[in-house]
């Protein structure tokens, strides 16, 4: 079971994010990794940061503000970190409504070469593969039709290319017929990270790289951390949490403490915050 911890984002403008003290002592055993990497659980984002001591806490610094800006983290987002190796954290994000935040896959360009994007296979990819926003324009897709996809070993499959009408502000397309078979034949499972590259000279999409998931995709380990402080405003270092079952309750509690309305104020509710 991979070590993990959670944080509720209370200050998106802060240039750093503190790690729970018990996670440092119990899981890292005070061996702070050099140049740790944070990878998003979906969307294909990756950042290299530093962990430095600020006051009594160890914090993600030197790039944490890039994490917030790149994926538009906001106040109240529930961040779940899983340490998958000595220096790599996989971060899942849950919004205040308790649902996981699905990030728009990142499109990469290298010196004008063929564009590519990375995505992590999820249940939503069972029957379709949706292109990220802006990908259709970058590869010159003009309308619906077919597209050929090549596997890592060079085998090709013809797929239906459809216009995604669920988006109003961006032009999005997805692959449907042919994709389920391609996924099965190439053994793409939930949690696998795939890199797709469009070969301009051939007009084909290439499955360029597959990084197999090392852990069960639905495994969400509990995090053993400190106790509630008597008389305090919340948990000092967190609590015994299983995200799959309790994220809704934790986030809900942080927004359901109405403050008293003063005489003369409007009837709109004023919400307090439960601090972790």
Q: 3-state class of 184 per DSSP?
A: helix
**By three-state DSSP, how is residue 58 classified?**
strand
Nearest to 113 by CA among 134, 138, 130: 138
pTM, entire model: 0.48
pLDDT band, very low/low/confident/very high, at 248 (cuts 50, 70, 90):
low
Provide CATH code, domain 107-211: 2.40.330.10
For 54-70, the pLDDT digits (tens) are 999 999 999 898 899 88
Annotated domain spans of the chain? 4-100+242-253, 107-211
The distance from CA 226 to its chain's CA centroid, rounded to whole angstroms, is 26
Instruction: Kindly report, residue by residue over 174-205, the tens digit of the pLDDT.
Output: 999 999 999 999 999 988 889 899 998 889 99
CATH number attached to the domain at 4-100+242-253? 2.40.330.10
Tallying the residues shown for the chain, one arrives at 276
Who has greater pLDDT, 241 or 141?
A: 141
Same fold? 4-100+242-253, 107-211:
yes
Q: What is the pLDDT of residues 142-168, one digit of tens each?
A: 889 999 999 988 899 999 999 887 665
Residue 232 pLDDT greater than 50, yes or no: no
More confident residue, 195 or 248: 195
What does the pLDDT average to over 232-255?
45
DSSP codes of every residue in 90-132? EEEEE-TTSPBPPPPPPEE-STT---EEEEE--GGGSS-EEPP
CA distances from 244 to 3, 7, 80 (A): 15, 15, 11
Q: How far apart are CA 210 and CA 193, in angstroms?
A: 6
Q: What is the CA radius of gyration of the chain?
A: 22
> Looking at beta carbons, which pairs linking 239-244 to residues 24 or more positions away fall under 8 Å?
241/6, 243/6, 243/78, 243/80, 243/92, 243/94, 244/218, 244/220
């Amino acid at each position: 079971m991979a070590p993990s911890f959670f944080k509720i984002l209370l200050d998106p403008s802060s240039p750093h994010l503190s790690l729970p003290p018990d996670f440092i002592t119990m899981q890292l055993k005070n061996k702070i990794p050099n140049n740790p990497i944070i990878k998003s659980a979906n969307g294909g984002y990756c950042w290299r940061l530093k962990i430095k001591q600020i006051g009594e806490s160890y914090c993600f610094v030197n790039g944490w503000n890039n994490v917030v800006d790149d994926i538009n983290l906001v106040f109240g987002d529930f961040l779940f970190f899983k340490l998958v190796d000595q220096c790599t954290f996989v971060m899942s994000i849950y919004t205040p409504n308790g649902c996981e935040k699905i990030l728009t896959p990142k499109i990469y360009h290298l010196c004008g070469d063929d564009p590519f994007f990375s995505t992590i296979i999820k249940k939503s990819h069972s029957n379709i593969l949706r292109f990220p926003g802006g990908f259709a324009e970058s590869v010159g897709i003009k309308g619906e039709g077919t597209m050929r996809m090549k596997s890592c070993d060079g085998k090709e499959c013809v797929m239906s290319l459809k216009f995604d009408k669920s988006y109003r502000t961006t032009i999005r397309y997805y692959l449907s017929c042919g994709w389920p078979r391609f996924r099965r034949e190439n053994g793409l499972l939930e949690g696998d990270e795939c890199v797709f590259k469009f070969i301009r000279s051939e007009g084909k999409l290439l499955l360029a790289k597959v990084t197999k998931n090392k852990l069960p995709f639905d495994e969400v380990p509990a995090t053993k951390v400190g106790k509630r402080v008597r008389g305090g405003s919340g948990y000092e270092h967190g609590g015994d949490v299983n995200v799959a079952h309790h994220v809704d309750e934790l986030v809900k509690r942080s927004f359901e403490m109405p403050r008293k309305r003063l005489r003369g104020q409007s009837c709109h509710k004023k919400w307090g915050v439960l601090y972790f």
